[in-house]
């Protein structure tokens, strides 16, 4: 069985390394600040004992007042998993750092989030719309789209 | 004399015989050599994730059929598992077994198409493809018995399956199980050791294990690269921990290995089905549930080992009758991440077979 | 043609009959032109039917069976359909080249049949350099195909055309060298004389030559596994991607006319042409052509396609040395006068030689998967 890591335990480890980076944590997941996302992600991937080398998926959820980007990570070696989240409060121009440099698997998925939610990922090599055409008005998966 | 040459851009698709649907590859070529490619898609985008937000939990099942339309049963299963996880529904024993039988039959059917289409891309003019369709037809017949459909089965429900197996199903399945191993041997004899196929596919489009993990590749493509990772073993869902089966892996991760991998996985699926047939208990096939499922607020991610890789549904509930957010983790889309690295430096003909060996369905990429 | 001087002429009882029709030359010419065109068109229909039904059978499906008895009229229906289609010329196409290409490709396919004997002496022109003429003419189709690829201004077409040119240039050589072995034994370049010389089919005397010719011939006319020029799974339809209507029909016709032509040449060179017991000669000829074509259909349904660099490597590293060896051995045998004296020894030796050198070469010197030519 894949063991879900406790968000609280991992949060304390991240907090130790990067103070002030974790917004909140629970048993299931932890939320990191957007500007610390890349550091936290690198820490999770490279730390001995965590080794979260496999990014299962990236997605976003629109909560009207903020976007929540969900990263579901797992380690093939230790067979455990962890959900981390990052929030964006800016609806007009939401920006988060891209994790493509760490997990290439995020490439197409971040483009998809950009297309359907309008969240821009900085330093993504090819930040273009993926399903809809250039010039499509709005971002369909936002709750205020229709 | 130096001949002045310049690269040119070739748009393969959206209507092309080997793009397996409406999919476009913008390939930059230097003569026959691929310098760069960019996959372009969205021609089949139907907004299933958005549609799902407007529907009841039961009403989404037919939508999932349309994702990877050649393995609808697997999609149904993944979605139902997610709903059950979210709402805490217990599934009756018999339904679990029926689900496993269906999912594994579906795996065989989908892998048959994958292998057939791959060989077709290699240029074996439709013969292996049609041979594999012959057997897929029998599986589809079995599905028709239980669900009345031949492509979009819509058979599984949250809490079980829509109806019990009809009387004629088990004898037909038994007959199929007797025939199938012989057909598998026939496919192996047909092309497995073919000189041309080996020359074409061996050593072509190598994807190393590290690269595959970094690109989040899953399913047969990942295992062909030598990574022993199968969700049926690593994170057993449903009742997969009760069966005895192996996870075949290959060494190099070239096109030939991906082809071999799929063939061997079909054999393992047959093993699972055989065990499930023996253990199949009697009893109800569906949990008693209200008409409208109203899961508590929260989120759940359930994943299965679909024929193409890790298929997952990430559901967020706000305690209403429709999911607040329904994200689908599409193996076809994510496996394509590695395509660019795999094809650069190879020829156009290799591009086609590397692409074919990844095995995508556009319905799942675009959603 | 002076008879009696060449020893081979004394060996055989019959020889080419000069045209003795009322009106002489012109009648003969007119008659055989009509015969050739009629023959090619009917044969093409026949082979299309054979291919579609045969492939259906091999692929565990039925194949066309709705038009006429056993689907026999399917080629007719296909022809009518394709004739009624709109003729689409791409805006960016080079109009003249685009228009000329099917004509140029089609003419040589028809012209090859001018020297193919349907019976003893029953041929349009009994050229004394018949086989040379065949080799020369059959390459002209390539020009038409390249024009089609270039004139369509389509990248798939261009890729297909380039592949075709590369393949034809390479495969001409083993093709010609395989023919030379036959020419040495027959002692003549005239196709009619070659058939006359075949008391036993040359496939027995030249088994390796036959295989080389069959392979190189398949590559030359884009039959699987060398059908890279119109590889449907890679470059859609190759050079005729942008053709529709009657022009497409012409290319379709060329494809099959060339297949028939190669089958006819193989029949003439290696299978004893029109010779055979009981049946009338022309029927023997047609039966043999159909058999050869059937072998082509068989390979098409069975084998995957090879890649362009492997195609080249196969021609230069396998077929060429094989054909040189074959030529060398045949020349020695002819020098020792084996074809007339020791026919049975020659059959046995040649089969053994074929088996051994193919085995050795494919084991130690060339494998399809060995190495890639980096460009």
Per-residue pLDDT of B238-271, as tens digits, reads 888 888 888 888 888 888 888 888 888 888 888 8
Of B25, B26, B32, B344, which to mutate for an interface test with C (greatest number of C Cβ within 10 Å)? B32
Check if B179 contacts C (Cβ < 8 Å): no
C121 domain residue, yes or no: yes
Of C233, C300, C374, which to mutate for an interface test with B (greatest number of B Cβ within 10 Å)? C233
Of C255, C304, C312, which to mutate for an interface test with B (greatest number of B Cβ within 10 Å)? C304
Q: Report the CATH number of the B47-366 domain.
A: 1.10.645.10
B-proximal residues of A, 113-142, CB under 8 Å: 116, 126, 129-133, 140-141
HEC readout, chain A: CCEECCHHHHHHHHHHHCCCCEEEECCCEEEECHHHHHHHHHHHHHCCCCCCCEEEEEEEEECCCCEEEEEEEEECCCCEEEEEEEEECCCCCCEEECCCCCCCCHHHHHHHHHHHHCCEEECCCCCCCCCCCCCCCCCCCCCCCC
What pLDDT score does C23 carry? 53
Check if C368 contacts B (Cβ < 8 Å): yes
| C8 CB neighbour count, 10 Å cutoff | 17
What pLDDT score does C373 carry? 45
Domains of chain B, by residue range, sit at 47-366
Strand partners, B311: B304
Tell me: pLDDT of C228 over 50.
yes
Chains that touch B (3 or more CB pairs under 8 A): A, C
Q: Which residues, including other chains, have CB under 8 Å from residue C209's CB and lie 6 or more apart?
A: C178, C179, C181, C182, C202, C270, C323, C326, C330
C238 domain residue, yes or no: yes
Within 8 A of C302 by CB-CB distance, chain B residues are 124, 127
Within 8 A of C301 by CB-CB distance, chain B residues are 125-127
User: pLDDT, tens digit, for every residue of C182-193?
Assistant: 888 888 888 888
| B123 → closest Cβ in C162, C236, C305 | C305
Name the band, by pLDDT with cuts 50, 70 and 90, for residue B5.
confident
Stretch (H or E) spanning B312: strand B309-317
Our answer on whether C and B touch (3+ beta-carbon pairs < 8 Å) is yes
Per the CB < 8 Å rule, is B216 touching A1?
A: no
**Cβ–Cβ < 8 Å for B35, B28:** yes
Q: How far does A43 lie from chain B, in Å, by closest CA?
A: 16
**Cβ–Cβ < 8 Å for B327, B49:** yes
Token pair, residue B323, equals 């999911």
Q: Which residues, including other chains, have CB under 8 Å from residue B277's CB and lie 6 or more apart?
A: B101, B170, B173, B174, B177
What pLDDT score does A40 carry? 84
- Average pLDDT, stretch C228-257? 81
Helices (H) and strands (E) in chain B, counts: 15, 8
Global confidence as pTM: 0.84
Within 8 A of C156 by CB-CB distance, chain B residues are 10
Q: What structural domains does chain A harbor?
A: 3-122 (3.30.460.80)
C303 domain residue, yes or no: yes
What pLDDT score does C200 carry? 81
Check if B147 contacts C (Cβ < 8 Å): no
By C-alpha distance, which of B149, B157, B144 is closest to B59? B157
Within 8 A of C51 by CB-CB distance, chain B residues are none
CA distances from A66 to A114, A144, C1, C190 (A): 15, 12, 98, 87
Per the CB < 8 Å rule, is A54 touching B216?
A: yes
Check if A18 contacts B (Cβ < 8 Å): no
- Tally the domains of chain C: 1
Position of tokens 């159909």? C290
Check if C361 contacts B (Cβ < 8 Å): no
Tell me: pLDDT of C7 over 70.
no
Within 8 A of B227 by CB-CB distance, chain A residues are 76
**Cβ–Cβ < 8 Å for B206, B254:** yes
- Average pLDDT, stretch C149-176? 86
What pLDDT score does C5 carry? 42
Within 8 A of B134 by CB-CB distance, chain C residues are 60
Q: How far does A24 lie from chain B, in Å, by closest CA?
A: 16
Give the structural domain span for C322.
Answer: 90-335+343-367
| B49 → closest Cβ in A1, A28, A141 | A141
**Cβ–Cβ < 8 Å for B20, B336:** no
User: pLDDT, tens digit, for every residue of C12-57?
Assistant: 344 444 445 455 667 777 777 888 888 888 888 888 888 888 888 8
What pLDDT score does C6 carry? 42
| A140 → closest Cβ in B50, B324, B336 | B50
- Distance between CA atoms of residues B200 and C369, nearest Å: 7
Within 8 A of C224 by CB-CB distance, chain B residues are 123, 125
User: pLDDT, tens digit, for every residue of A57-92?
Assistant: 899 888 888 888 888 888 888 888 888 888 888 888
Tell me: pLDDT of A131 over 80.
yes
Tell me whether strands A54-62 and A67-75 are parallel, antiparallel or unpaired.
antiparallel
Q: How far does B298 lie from chain C, in Å, by closest CA?
A: 47
Within 8 A of C231 by CB-CB distance, chain B residues are 123, 349
- Distance between CA atoms of residues C243 and C102, nearest Å: 9
User: pLDDT, tens digit, for every residue of B320-359?
Assistant: 888 898 899 988 888 888 888 888 888 888 888 888 888 8
Token pair, residue C342, equals 């020791």
What is the SS3 assignment for B306?
A: strand
Chains that touch A (3 or more CB pairs under 8 A): B
User: pLDDT, tens digit, for every residue of A105-125?
Assistant: 888 888 888 888 888 888 888
**Cβ–Cβ < 8 Å for C176, C229:** no
**Cβ–Cβ < 8 Å for C357, C318:** no
For B5-11, which contacts have Cβ atoms below 8 Å and span 24 or more sequence positions? B5/B30, B5/B31, B7/B35, B8/C155, B10/B348, B10/C155, B10/C156, B10/C159
Per the CB < 8 Å rule, is B216 touching A59?
A: no
Stretch (H or E) spanning B12: strand B8-12
Tell me: pLDDT of B118 over 70.
yes
By C-alpha distance, which of B298, B318, B300, B302 is closest to B310? B302
By C-alpha distance, which of C221, C214, C219 is closest to C258? C221
Tell me: pLDDT of C10 over 50.
no
Looking at chain B, the whole-number percentage of residues with pLDDT higher than 70 is 100
Check if C228 contacts B (Cβ < 8 Å): yes
- Distance between CA atoms of residues C339 and C205, nearest Å: 8
User: pLDDT, tens digit, for every residue of B167-217?
Assistant: 888 899 888 988 888 888 888 887 777 888 888 888 888 888 888 888 889
| B334 → closest Cβ in A70, A79, A109 | A109
What pLDDT score does A29 carry? 82
What pLDDT score does C25 carry? 67
What is the SS3 assignment for B35?
A: strand
User: pLDDT, tens digit, for every residue of A22-62?
Assistant: 888 888 888 888 888 888 888 888 888 788 888 888 998 88
């Amino acid at each position: 069985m894949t063991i879900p890591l406790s968000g609280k335990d991992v949060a304390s480890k991240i907090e130790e390394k990067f103070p002030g980076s974790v917004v909140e944590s629970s048993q299931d997941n932890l939320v990191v600040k957007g500007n610390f996302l890349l550091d936290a992600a690198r820490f999770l991937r490279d730390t001995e004992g965590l080794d979260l080398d496999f990014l299962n998926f990236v997605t976003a959820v629109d909560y009207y007042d903020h976007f929540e980007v969900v990263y579901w990570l797992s380690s093939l070696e230790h067979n455990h998993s962890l959900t981390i989240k990052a929030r964006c409060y800016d609806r007009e121009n939401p920006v988060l750092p891209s994790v493509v440099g760490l997990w290439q698997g995020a490439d197409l998925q971040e483009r998809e989030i950009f297309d359907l939610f309008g969240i821009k990922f900085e330093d993504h090599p090819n930040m273009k719309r993926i399903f809809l055409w250039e010039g499509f008005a709005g971002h369909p998966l936002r709750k205020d789209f229709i | 004399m130096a001949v002045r040459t310049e690269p040119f851009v070739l748009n393969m698709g959206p209507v092309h015989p080997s793009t397996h649907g409406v999919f476009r590859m913008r390939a930059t070529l230097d003569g026959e050599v691929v310098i760069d490619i960019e996959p372009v898609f969205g021609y089949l985008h139907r907004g299933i994730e958005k549609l799902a937000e407007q529907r009841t939990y039961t009403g989404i099942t037919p939508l999932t059929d349309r994702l990877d339309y050649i393995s609808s049963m697997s999609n149904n299963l993944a979605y139902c598992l997610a709903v059950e996880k979210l709402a805490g529904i217990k599934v009756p024993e018999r339904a679990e077994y029926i689900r496993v039988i269906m999912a594994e039959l579906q795996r065989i059917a989908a892998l048959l198409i994958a292998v057939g289409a791959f060989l077709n891309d290699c240029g074996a003019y439709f013969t292996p493809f049609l041979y594999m369709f012959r057997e897929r037809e029998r599986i589809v017949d079995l599905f028709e018995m239980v669900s009345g459909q031949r492509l979009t089965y819509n058979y599984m429900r949250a809490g079980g399956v829509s109806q019990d197996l009809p009387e004629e199903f088990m004898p037909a399945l038994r007959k199929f199980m007797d025939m199938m191993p012989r057909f598998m041997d026939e496919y192996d004899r047909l092309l497995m050791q073919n000189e041309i196929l080996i020359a074409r596919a061996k050593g072509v489009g190598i994807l190393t294990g590290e690269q595959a993990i970094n690109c989040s590749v899953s399913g047969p493509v990942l295992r062909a690269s030598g990574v022993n990772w199968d969700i049926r073993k690593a994170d057993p869902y449903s009742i997969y921990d009760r069966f005895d089966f192996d996870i075949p892996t290959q060494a190099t991760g070239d096109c030939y290995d991906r082809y071999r991998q799929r063939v061997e996985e079909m054999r393992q699926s047959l093993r699972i089905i055989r065990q499930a047939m023996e253990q199949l208990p009697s009893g109800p096939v569906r949990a008693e549930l209200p008409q409208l499922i109203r899961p508590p607020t929260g989120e759940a991610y359930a994943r299965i080992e679909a024929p193409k890789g890790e298929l997952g549904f990430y559901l967020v509930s706000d305690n209403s009758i429709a999911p607040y957010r329904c994200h689908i983790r599409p193996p076809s889309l994510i496996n394509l991440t590695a395509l660019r690295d795999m094809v650069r430096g190879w020829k156009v003909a290799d591009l086609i077979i590397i692409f074919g060996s990844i095995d995508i369905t556009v319905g799942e990429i675009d959603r | 043609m002076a008879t009696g001087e060449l020893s081979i002429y004394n060996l055989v009882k019959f020889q080419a009959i000069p045209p003795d029709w009322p009106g002489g030359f012109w009648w003969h010419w007119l008659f055989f032109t009509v015969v050739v065109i009629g023959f090619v068109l009917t044969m093409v229909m026949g082979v299309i039917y054979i291919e579609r039904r045969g492939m259906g059978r091999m692929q565990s499906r039925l194949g066309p069976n709705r038009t006429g008895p056993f689907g026999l009229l399917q080629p007719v229906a296909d022809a009518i359909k394709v004739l009624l289609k709109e003729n689409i010329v791409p805006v960016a196409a080079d109009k003249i080249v685009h228009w000329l290409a099917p004509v140029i490709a089609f003419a040589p396919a028809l012209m090859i049949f001018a020297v193919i004997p349907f019976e003893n002496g029953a041929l349009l022109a009994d050229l004394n350099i018949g086989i040379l003429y065949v080799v020369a003419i059959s390459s002209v189709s390539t020009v038409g195909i390249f024009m089609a690829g270039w004139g369509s201004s389509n990248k798939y077409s261009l890729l297909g055309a380039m592949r075709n040119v590369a393949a034809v240039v390479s495969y001409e050589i083993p093709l010609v060298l395989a023919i030379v072995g036959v020419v040495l034994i027959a002692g003549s370049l005239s196709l009619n004389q070659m058939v006359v010389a075949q008391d036993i089919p040359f496939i027995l005397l030249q088994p390796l030559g036959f295989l080389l010719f069959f392979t190189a011939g398949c590559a030359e006319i884009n039959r699987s596994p060398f059908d890279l020029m119109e590889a449907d799974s890679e470059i859609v339809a190759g050079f005729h991607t942008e053709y529709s209507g009657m022009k497409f029909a012409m290319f379709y016709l060329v494809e099959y006319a060339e297949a028939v032509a190669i089958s006819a040449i193989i029949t003439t060179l290696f299978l004893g042409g029109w010779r055979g017991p009981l049946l009338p000669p022309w029927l023997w000829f047609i039966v043999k052509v159909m058999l050869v074509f059937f072998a082509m259909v068989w390979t098409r349904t069975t084998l995957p396609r090879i890649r362009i660099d492997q195609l080249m490597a196969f021609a230069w590293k396998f077929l060429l040395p094989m054909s040189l060896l074959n030529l060398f051995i045949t020349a020695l045998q002819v020098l020792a006068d084996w074809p007339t004296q020791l026919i049975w020894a020659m059959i046995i030796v040649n089969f053994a030689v074929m088996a051994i050198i193919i085995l050795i070469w494919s084991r130690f010197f060339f494998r399809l998967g060995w190495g890639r030519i980096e460009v």
